[in-house]
Amino acid sequence: MSLFGDKIFTRRLILRKIQEIDIPIIVAWSQSKIACGEYLNPGKHDMEQMRQQVRSNVFWSDGEKMFLVELREDRRSIGTAHYWYSPGRRNTVSMALKVAIPEERGKGYGTEIQKFLIMYVFDQLPVEAIEMHTDVNNTAQQRCLQKLGFELIESLVYDDQQEKRTGHLFRLTAEQYHSHPIYQFHYE
């Protein structure tokens, strides 16, 4: 992983700050069931509201960052990655990602995005834990989180755009991060 200003470079990907030029694709993905996949409901972002949020750095502050994910080889946008401090818990960060292009799923990009965003968060922020929620049926994401050292904390019911879902809460502590081999021995 290498950092360059507002970008994270991995072997195959670039995670970069969202810019105004990216707003149409972010909004389109937020309104597309195909882009959201079977485990997320479309968020239905509004173009003007998103433009105001990008201009005012809502998604690029000390407490929250949203990245556009691009393939390094051709700079094609394939998804988003996002982290934010959990409300009321300044020592815990929540993360979410979306590989919005169905043909790019199942290629390990989600694992790569999460691994390097986790490294970025623990190396750049004073946090004690990272948490991620996943749908109870999203077994691929659950395997990924376990591979990345997360532990299942609890199962819960949550609202996803006014739809009740059952999911799992996974947590990776700073101590687990610093001792897990996947973060110590990598070749990207």
Tens digit of each residue's pLDDT (9 = 90 or more) over 121-162: 999 999 999 999 999 999 999 999 999 999 999 999 987 777
Half-sphere exposure for 72 (CA within 13 Å, toward CB): 14
Report all structural domains of the chain as residue ranges with CATH numbers, in order of start: 2-184 (3.40.630.30)
Structure confidence at residue 89 (pLDDT): 82
Is residue 35 within 8 A of residue 45, CB to CB? The reply is: no
C-alpha distances in Å from residue 173, one per residue of 37, 106, 179: 28, 26, 10
Give CA–CA dist 131/116, Å, rounded.
15
Ranges of residues in the chain with a pLDDT under 70 are 1-4, 185-188
- H helix runs in 85-138, sequence order: 109-124
Query: Which pTM value belongs to this model?
Result: 0.92
Half-sphere exposure for 8 (CA within 13 Å, toward CB): 25
